[in-house]
A = this chain, B = another copy of it.
Amino acid sequence: MRIDNLQYANWSEKIFRQMREGGVDAVHVTVAYHETFRETVQNLERWNRWFEKYPDLILKGQWASDVDKARETGRTAIFFGFQNPSPIEDDIGLIEIVHTLGARFMQLTYNNQSLLATGCYEAEDTGITRMGRQVIKEMNRVGLVVDMSHSADRSTIEAAALSERPIAITHANPFEWAPALRNKKDDVLRAVTEAGGMVGFSLYPHHLKDKSDCTLESFCEMVARAAERYSVSNLGIGSDLCQDQPDSIVEWMRVGRWSKEIDYGEGSVTAPGFPPMPGWFQNNLDFGNIEAGLRAVGMDEAEVAAVMGGNWYRFYQENFVPRG
């Protein structure tokens, strides 16, 4: 079973076919960065058109059983998530509404301070806000997973403690291995995984040691060390693959409508666009390389299977269903 728990590609029949050819059974796709509720619904409408147009390649994923359905019918289950809480605006009632529409992960922040928590690029981190506490409780109730990939450390540790259900860092790597602002320090990774939460390893060059030049071996060694430290059952893949996206998209991701000035995020004035992906992970055809790499660094078959999809599958089973 192969599950990639974060992609934001410029979706096309080509990419859906690559998912099939690459044996990817489920993908968690981003449907909102800075979008309001109504704008997010428009993005869901686009997905509905793709589901209607490519019923032999993809299906809408709502529950873990949809991954089984995808495997049985040779398709890929598409699960929706938000990288920012903008789709729920200031309205806690929208949490159940977006879950009904299929959302399964929501980041409490995207780099900046939000109504709910502090993002990883802010100078000060004041933790989970008053509304944030209410929102986590409601997300727990309906089965919308708290994702802290772009959040600051204290906010993440507090979210892991406040949430009654496990949370996730869907796409990031250990700071110790690659000291990017977006990567996660040991105490953060411990807080999340010790509460049963998941960490999805990112293949986005800005999160990799040596960026685009990162070797497969270095990446897989990092995963193996993390498995020793945080338990292999809490780890998966969240590639952050942004295949075929024009550079205008990374600008929307970084700046949205919140600034008139350009913010380069993890890029820079000399390298403002999407960085080139490592040669061994270009697209959905390349998950086999990671599997082989994990074996090469000494992980056994059960461990490789867990990291490549089994763990996310179990996490989906336990965390998408509303509380009775």
Contacts and interface: CB of A to CB of B under 8 A. Distances in A.
**Interface size, A (range):** 10 to 19
Interface stretch (A17-25, A35-43, A126-134): A35-43
The main secondary structure of chain A at its interface with chain B is helix
Nearest to A38: B38
A60 B272 CA distance: 48
B97 A44 contact: yes
Interface in A88-106: 91, 93-94, 96-97, 100-102
B101 A45 contact: no
Nearest to A37: B38
Kindly report how many copies of this chain are found in the complex they form together.
2
A115 to B, nearest CB: 17
A241 B44 CA distance: 35
B45 A96 contact: yes
A257 interface: no
Nearest to A36: B38
B97 A45 contact: yes
A14 interface: no
A48 interface: yes
A135 to B, nearest CB: 14
B101 A97 contact: yes
Contacts of A97: 41, 44-45, 48, 101
A49 interface: yes
A93 B37 CA distance: 15
Nearest to A42: B93
A41 to B, nearest CB: 6
Given A37-B38, A44-B97, A100-B101, 9 more contacts: A38-B38, A41-B97, A42-B91, A45-B93, A45-B94, A45-B96, A48-B93, A48-B96, A48-B97
23 contacts: A37-B38, A37-B41, A38-B38, A41-B94, A41-B97, A42-B91, A42-B93, A44-B97, A45-B91, A45-B93, A45-B94, A45-B96, A45-B97, A46-B93, A48-B93, A48-B96, A48-B97, A49-B93, A97-B101, A100-B100, A100-B101, A100-B102, A101-B101
